[in-house]
Structure 1
Amino acid sequence: MTTAAARTGVTSEVGRLRTVLLHRPGAELRRLTPRNNDQLLFDGVPWVARAQEEHDAFAAALTDRGVEVLHLDRLLAEVMGVPTARSEVIAAAVDDPRLGATLRHATTAHLSDLAPEDLATALITGVAHDELRGGRGLAYRLMGRGEFVVPPLPNLMFTRDSSVWVGSQVAVTSLAMPARDRESALTAALYAHHPRFAGVDQLYGPQLEHLEGGDVLLLSPGVLAVGVGERTTAGGAERLARRVFARGLARTVLVVPIAQERATMHLDTICTMVDVDAMVMYPAVAGSLQAWTVTAGGELPDDADTTELSVEGPQPFLTAAATAMGIDRLRVIDTGLDPVTAEREQWDDGNNTLALAPRLAVAYERNTVTNAALEAAGIEVVAISGSELGSGRGGPRCMSCPVLREPLPG
């Protein structure tokens, strides 16, 4: 019997991808309206059927290249038959100060009565005021008919953010935006209770400082880069560094400040690895991005969160990364973009690629200039459509959580 440890583990961004966690967008996207899409972090109201077609094509492109695709909603439905898992996710769903005690009890009863598959659907799609059985209390009476007792999770398709694998362990992250904070409860339950992940250690948790998977790049075995900006805090980067050092999962963490803007919400909106020594990077920041080099500062104690840290820098990111990786230089694919085109393609997730292997990456087809530059540099591009998927500001890397990659040779 193959153990969970043999079927999980990620030590780089570009080792051949073997297993990935995706979430096919569903009815939760139909909850988006012009009134609530900003609050739910979408730039528009997507055409749901087309978004699903695009996502199906993305999943098929991975499967066609030998990648096992796990679907988050299916795994979640399977663990909703576990009483402890049910209790955990229901408690997270009703942990909302809007509800008050009476409506909280009514919502708990409603969710508790659902079959496992229906519960998984309700937690993802949300529960509207008029869908709640047994709704009562002042808060319920004052709610509008279309308001959500349990809000939907339309960003769940960006599976990269709520968990990230570092070596043999998984960091269930702490999401910064209120519209997304409940995603981590679902991910934590999945990793804790699904037999596929039995015995896997969780490196991080939703109750800790804000840390999102889109800000974590595994540049090479033992070397992480962590963006600090709109979503990940310096405290989150610090705690992750302490834990990966104490558990022997990394020797260097590069902490990279990025602009606290929606266009650059995560480090992987600026740069992603496409080869063992190469990345595609937004030209406007290539020369200015800085990094602080963090290493373990002394003896590693039993308590990971008290590990002493040594902090040096800042240095130019590319210089610090090459030094940490033990290579002469980290190549940047020269996209040759004029400033306007560069800004447009960065906004459209041109730098947010998913490496399937060294020199093989998935990218949105609409970023034609960036893709041409990648091809010219020897990177094979698997181009996928993303006109509707991109309305939530996420590309192929954002939409995928690698669970197993082959180790790099050497």
Structure 2
Amino acid sequence: MTETTTHQHKVTSEVGRLRTVLLHRPGAELKRLTPRNSDKLLFDAIPWVGRAQEEHDAFAQALRDRGVEVLYVTELLQDALEYGAARDEAIAGVIDDNRWGDQLRRVVRGYLRDLDSEDLAHTLIAGLAHEELKTAHGLVYRLMDRLDFIVDPLPGLLFTRDSGVWIGDRVAVTSLAMPARHRESALTGLIYAHHPRFAGVTRLYDPSLEHVEGGDVLLLSPGVLAVGTGERTTPAGVERLARQVFEAGLAHTVLAVPIAQERATMHLDTVCTMVDADTVVMYPPVAYSLTAYTVTGANGDLRVTEPRPFLEAAAEAMGLDRLKVIDTGLDPVTAEREQWDDGNNTLALAPRVAVAYERNIETNAQLEAAGIEVIRISGSELGTGRGGPRCMSCPIFREEPSG
């Protein structure tokens, strides 16, 4: 088990030098994807798992090569499950499923309790298939299709950004909107609650609250958040998060940014990410049409302005004359293709240094022409779940941005 030591956990921007990040290396949960269940599990294609793992290993190594400490969800989860309270919490979360009935629930509880920490972590992530539970019996079990899952796999766990986001020195364990991803937040919360590395960390948000997903949260600058609201994050979630960060003194302004409720633009970071303290890369069709409502605290309540152009509202909140935009300047067809392939979903490792999928050739060329160093990674298989480098990473510690 990991010994308790002092670690830094703090994120106040999108571009401060990245020092520690949480990833999830794809595994057996991706092997559970079939044409029969991929839509339900939110994948657009069936990934070649071995190649996806190779791509993810290369991504992790690219981060390490730049001095980033890489933590893995599975390893942290296994450590946490060595503690009885964490095991009990994890098992209780799984068996709270009204599809099962009492008889199957008792069998599953006993099965999970008999697993060691490594096997329990594996099952929580990869799921439990009907035919793997040899000891099961009863009406519910017998009437299930033999290809059904008793515990669903979590292929979306690859995108660690969504279920947890650090704002300042606190972690928001988010409330994921899609049923297929609900348990991701439970596992993320379990790690932060029980792993010794995070002892004493204060929780800013909880999965029981209104829907907020980390891909919609951009830390534009210290004290300024932009939060997309669309397919995954609700307006009520934006309002709740704003109240939480204001009460904690972690922000003075939250920009609520409506985005199209479409698969290709499911989160704010699918259309806009930061590559420098004053520069964003944006999907051309929305760069100058995106709007924002400025939300500030007012005597214990919220003050909300009329909508304004996002770039204008963001620059004002950040104390800038203007927010520079790399809109890639692509023709409409290329722009649409590279948007679908997460061309705008970059991960800044430091100011003017960003990780991007290599396949987005034109977008990357425009970034380099603007003076951004682009670290290219392969994502032909990783991208089948509709997520890029930012989606696949949860920064835990960034240095404070200079200036």
TM-score normalized by the length of structure 2: 0.98
Partner of 1:276: 277
1:109 Cα offset (Å): 1.1
1:90 Cα offset (Å): 1.2
Matches within 5 A, 1:29-178: 29-178=30-179
Q: Write the deviation string for residues 9-54 of structure 1: whole angstroms up to 9, x where unpaired.
A: 0000000000000000001000000111111000010000000000
- Unmatched 5+ stretches in structure 2: none
CA distance in 2, matches of 1:95, 1:137: 18
CA distance in 1, matches of 2:54, 2:80: 27
CA distance in 1, matches of 2:104, 2:237: 33
Q: Of the candidates 356, 374, 398, which is equivalent to residue 381 of structure 1?
A: 374
Instruction: Say if 1:88 and 1:185, in contact at 8 Å, map to a contact too.
Output: no
Partner of 1:323: 316
Partner of 2:234: 233
Partner of 2:337: 344
Q: Letter of the aligned partner of 2:391 in structure 1? A: C
1:102 Cα offset (Å): 1.3
The alignment partner of 1:161 has SS state of coil
Instruction: Say if 1:13 and 1:220, in contact at 8 Å, map to a contact too.
Output: yes
Is 1:362 the counterpart of 2:363? The answer is no
Matches within 5 A, 1:10-25: 10-25=11-26
CA distance in 2, matches of 1:11, 1:210: 22
Q: Which moved more, 1:136-145 or 1:169-178?
A: 136-145
The alignment partner of 1:272 has SS state of strand
1:138 Cα offset (Å): 1.1
Q: Write the deviation string for residues 283-320 of structure 1: whole angstroms up to 9, x where unpaired.
A: 0001110000000011xxxxxxxx41011120000000
1:92 Cα offset (Å): 1.4
Partner of 2:204: 203
Q: Letter of the aligned partner of 2:92 in structure 1? A: A
CA distance in 2, matches of 1:100, 1:203: 34
Q: Letter of the aligned partner of 1:325 in structure 2? A: M
Percent identical among aligned pairs is 71
Cα 1:168–1:3 shift into 2, 3 Å: farther
1:95 Cα offset (Å): 1.9
Instruction: Say if 1:176 and 1:232, in contact at 8 Å, map to a contact too.
Output: yes
TM-score normalized by the length of structure 1: 0.96
Instruction: Say if 2:283 and 2:327, in contact at 8 Å, map to a contact too.
Output: no
The alignment partner of 2:182 has SS state of coil
Instruction: Say if 2:178 and 2:232, in contact at 8 Å, map to a contact too.
Output: yes
CA distance in 2, matches of 1:171, 1:313: 27
CA distance in 2, matches of 1:104, 1:293: 47
1:146 Cα offset (Å): 1.8
CA distance in 2, matches of 1:285, 1:28: 34
1:133 Cα offset (Å): 4.2
Q: Letter of the aligned partner of 1:63 in structure 2? A: R
Partner of 1:403: 396
CA distance in 1, matches of 2:112, 2:135: 11
CA distance in 1, matches of 2:142, 2:360: 48
Q: Write the deviation string for residues 198-224 of structure 1: whole angstroms up to 9, x where unpaired.
A: 100010011110000000000000000
Instruction: Say if 1:110 and 1:133, in contact at 8 Å, map to a contact too.
Output: no
1:134 Cα offset (Å): 2.2
Instruction: Say if 2:311 and 2:323, in contact at 8 Å, map to a contact too.
Output: yes
The alignment partner of 2:47 has SS state of coil
CA distance in 2, matches of 1:198, 1:54: 32
1:70 Cα offset (Å): 0.1
Instruction: Say if 1:22 and 1:72, in contact at 8 Å, map to a contact too.
Output: yes
Q: Letter of the aligned partner of 1:220 in structure 2? A: S
Partner of 2:9: 8
Instruction: Say if 2:212 and 2:238, in contact at 8 Å, map to a contact too.
Output: yes
CA distance in 1, matches of 2:242, 2:61: 35
Q: Letter of the aligned partner of 1:233 in structure 2? A: T
Instruction: Say if 1:277 and 1:330, in contact at 8 Å, map to a contact too.
Output: yes
CA distance in 2, matches of 1:166, 1:373: 30
Matches within 5 A, 1:212-251: 212-251=213-252
Partner of 1:301: none
Instruction: Say if 1:172 and 1:203, in contact at 8 Å, map to a contact too.
Output: yes
